[in-house]
Structure 1
Amino acid sequence: MSMSAPALSPDRASPRLGFRPGLGWLDILRLGLVQAALGAIVVLTNSTLNRVMIVELGLAAIIPGLLVGVHYAVQITRPLWGHRSDTGGSRTRWILIGMALLALSGTMASASTLFFAQSPALGLIVAFIAYILIGIGIGASGTSLLALLALRTPPERRATAATITWMMMILGIIITSIVTGIALEPYSHLRLVQVTAATGAVAFCLTGLAVLGIERKPALSAPQAAAGTTARFSDSLREVWHDGEARLFTLFIAMSMLAYSTQDLILEPFAGLLFGLSPGQSTQLSGMQHAGVFAGMAVVGLGGLILGPKVPSLSRVFIIAGCVGSAAALTLLCLAASLAPDWPLAVNIFGLGFANGMFAVAAIGTMMALAAQGRTGNAGMRMGVWGAAQAIAFGLGGLLGSIGLDIGRQLTGADGSAFALVFALEAVLFLLSAAVALRIGRTARLSRPPAPRPHSLQPAE
């Protein structure tokens, strides 16, 4: 009696038959399109709508500032959405649900301009609800996407995969800014709603095509890569908290992203007050910073591609170099505050962006590696915890930077000294973040809880 060979499942595909488990470069590029779609919608709600509320509607700047803060605050729920993607059997489903909600709520946020023109109170209510839903959409889609990338990408490709996806997000922001800038002329509130709705529809369709069949690809290992763990939310969260490495990385994310975002709202005023740059010139300076971020990310990606298989701790090296480089660039900005306007400000800002991009994308690569180390298959929960830490840090960063500038002005009575004080505190935060990063990968994981015990069986079972 002949025996037929057992069928090979995708998760157990044999390399001898030509299968290579994990995502290939084309698959990673496809998932990068999801990041580009996320960036396309977010840039409209965080930048374009912010300007419309202040300039065209004449609202106080604190209103759009608080609305953006609301969408960051709501992202504290990222662990919940990450856990849902762990237990839901499909991460693709949550990516699509989150993107659909983001597209609809982005359109709702732009529609609030029509209500503001009629009734400020009604407009504020609509905008507030919209930004809450925007935060939920970003949390559900972004967290599930990162978990999928983390568990499906081979270890030697993770640093480059993080670079590709984040560079595509920046590319999505750039393309959206150019195209919608043209489409919004001549401006009207109704045209803004139409453009935002069209952007959301394109973003959702692009996401659907990008994730189509992606979870049917051969996985790295069935227990890790498959969504569908049965762990409870509290158990999954406890497992992350008791993992010393995960807890240390959460601290690093909070500190480094706080330092990263503190200069967001004060860099252009710094250029205007001390260097006499016009609004257009200071906006170009912001573009120079983003060009630096793009270049820093590219260096990490190329380094991971060339040296990744040979240097296991390469991401940690880039993280530390990026944090120290950011601290050095901020220290030079402290010097610039006393020597303005005789200072190569554009070069300094490009250097700051370069170091920021290097550490940020390397941190994403490390995040993807650590997400795959959970015993209960809870990559979504881990990504959710780190995403929540990042969102809270981003929400606080701009606010604390502005408060620090006001306090510095009162203490010193000089704009230059006040800016230098804030930049110096940021530099210290980056150096402390580098010190924390030195311990990542070296922490003994003795504090991890044992694997969950199976439930007790009843006699009939």
Structure 2
Amino acid sequence: MQLSWVQIVRLGLVQMCLGAIVVLMTSTLNRLMVVELALPAMVPGLLVGLHYGVQITRPNWGFLSDRTGRRSRWILGGMAVLAAGGLMAAAALPLIEAQPVVGLGVSVLAYGLIGLGVGASGTSLLALLATATAPRRRAAAATITWLMMIFGIAVTATVAGRFLDPYSHARLLEVVGVIAAGAVALTALAIAGIEARVQARPEPGTLPFRQGLAEIWAEPRARAFTLFVFLSMTAYFMQELILEPYAGLVFGFTPGQTTSLSGAQNGGVFAGMVLVGIAATGLRLGSLRGWVIVGCLGSALALAGVALAAPLGLPLVPVVVGLGMFNGVFAVAAIGSMMQLAGEGRAAREGTRMGLWGAAQAIAAGFGGLLGATLADALRSVSPDATAFGATFLLEAGLFLLSALVAARVIGGAPAPAARLVPGE
């Protein structure tokens, strides 16, 4: 039996919970470390890079869930680990202020747990969607779940921003605690009983992990798409660790205002995803490759606007919303391509493929975030803040232009033979 639309939306709630916790770790705590605790941007950059680096284990999670066909245990268990890591990361901030070495040690452990939780839960969720969703619904299912994730990020960032002012460490712990507990509870309710009605196909035999991964890497289209994911996601995540510090240091935004700025940006991402969903699916306008290119080019233009906002006196919020919208256009088109390609090539490897691309995305996200933070720190030592951040945003814009060129070559073309369907599909 295949996933119904209601069950797809229920799984989207899990993706929403993942985004709700992660946005606090990668944006709010990042800003607090740089502005309130006066730490170099490289410190949260390394921590967020660690959480992405740990996600190199994603192919392992996907392979394990392919072998067993039991995704729910990894989805819920991963969410619980993610929630624990989020609480630990928030609790580490007052420790950093009082005992820097101890606090940073706790932060390292916390962000490691966050990476493990996201990898286990997120990969298993995508594998369940890929194996139990009818082929004609896969692209739409990906769009629905990612829209719900962006919705969760936007709402969490906006609401949390209001409750964080006036800021205190105790208030931060309360906000993170409520969100973490709610995410675990909602995940448990969302996945309850789904696998009892939907049979995900287990991987036959006892193929070793390395051999299974090698078989996927040997597929030319899967390999080329992996390289595209790495390049484009490096561009996508370069601004993640520097946008809020930029708003705080150059524009004087408060912690609540910068958190709300993140919410506004993700609201733009949501709007961009809806736009592509309506235009490409409902109105059948354009191809996935075309929308990816439009998203990359628009993101480059918006980043140039962010870089020039300070010297030209432009309002930051509308430009950031525009950046979010084009990011959303790019992301949903790339995700649609990923979900379609997951079912192609050698059969019974959806989880491993999604894990491979998820690992490429995670490594690129960590590298991109660290690159942006490190470059901004280096330039701030020799130039004014506005100039340093602006140059970093312009480099990111250049990477998006390069990604558009790569997308024109990698995405599209004749599809590979489709994988066999689950019995009963």
CA distance in 2, matches of 1:270, 1:121: 26
The residue number in structure 1 matching 2:268 is 292
Q: Does 1:361 align with 2:361?
A: no
Aligned CA distance change for structure 1 residues 289 and 91 (closer, same or farther; 3 Å): same
Do the aligned partners of 1:248 and 1:436 also contact (CA within 8 Å) in 2? no
Q: CA deviation at 1:65?
A: 3.2
Aligned CA distance change for structure 1 residues 408 and 105 (closer, same or farther; 3 Å): closer
CA distance in 1, matches of 2:392, 2:268: 21
Q: Does 1:169 align with 2:165?
A: no
Do the aligned partners of 2:82 and 2:117 also contact (CA within 8 Å) in 1? yes
Q: CA deviation at 1:51?
A: 4.7
Partner letter of residue 278 of structure 1?
Answer: G
| Cα-Cα RMSD | 3.5
The residue number in structure 2 matching 1:399 is 370
TM-score, normalised to structure 1, is 0.77
SS in 1 for 2:344: coil
SS in 2 for 1:397: helix
For residues 373-427 of structure 1, give each alpha carbon's deviation from its aligned partner in whole angstroms, at most 9, with x where no partner exists.
Answer: 242412111111111111111112233234445666799x687776665444333
Q: CA deviation at 1:358?
A: 0.5
Aligned CA distance change for structure 1 residues 405 and 129 (closer, same or farther; 3 Å): closer
For residues 309-368 of structure 1, give each alpha carbon's deviation from its aligned partner in whole angstroms, at most 9, with x where no partner exists.
Answer: xx8x8333321221222234345566x47x932556555433322211111122112111
Partner letter of residue 257 of structure 1?
Answer: M
Q: Does 1:278 align with 2:252?
A: yes
Q: Does 1:261 align with 2:237?
A: yes
Partner letter of residue 277 of structure 1?
Answer: F
CA distance in 2, matches of 1:443, 1:410: 50
The answer for unaligned runs of 5 or more in structure 1 is: 1-9, 11-21, 220-224, 452-461
CA distance in 2, matches of 1:180, 1:228: 42
Q: CA deviation at 1:158?
A: 3.0
Q: Does 1:120 align with 2:100?
A: yes
TM-score, normalised to structure 2, is 0.83
Of 51-60 and 397-406, deviating more is 51-60
The residue number in structure 2 matching 1:73 is 53
Q: CA deviation at 1:258?
A: 1.0
Q: CA deviation at 1:306?
A: 1.1
The residue number in structure 1 matching 2:210 is 234
Do the aligned partners of 1:158 and 1:368 also contact (CA within 8 Å) in 2? yes
Query: Residues 320-339 of structure 1: matches in 2 within 5 Å?
Result: 320-331=293-304, 336=308
The residue number in structure 1 matching 2:423 is none
Q: Does 1:351 align with 2:322?
A: yes
Q: Which of 287, 290, 311 does residue 317 from structure 1 map onto? A: 290
For residues 191-233 of structure 1, give each alpha carbon's deviation from its aligned partner in whole angstroms, at most 9, with x where no partner exists.
Answer: 64455344323211211111122234456xxxxx413343321
Do the aligned partners of 2:34 and 2:245 also contact (CA within 8 Å) in 1? no
Aligned CA distance change for structure 1 residues 287 and 135 (closer, same or farther; 3 Å): closer
Number of residue equivalences: 415
The answer for unaligned runs of 5 or more in structure 2 is: 421-425
Do the aligned partners of 2:7 and 2:194 also contact (CA within 8 Å) in 1? yes
CA distance in 2, matches of 1:302, 1:90: 33
Aligned CA distance change for structure 1 residues 244 and 63 (closer, same or farther; 3 Å): same
Query: Residues 191-210 of structure 1: matches in 2 within 5 Å?
Result: 192-193=172-173, 195-210=175-190
The residue number in structure 2 matching 1:23 is 3
CA distance in 2, matches of 1:360, 1:59: 31
CA distance in 2, matches of 1:118, 1:332: 39
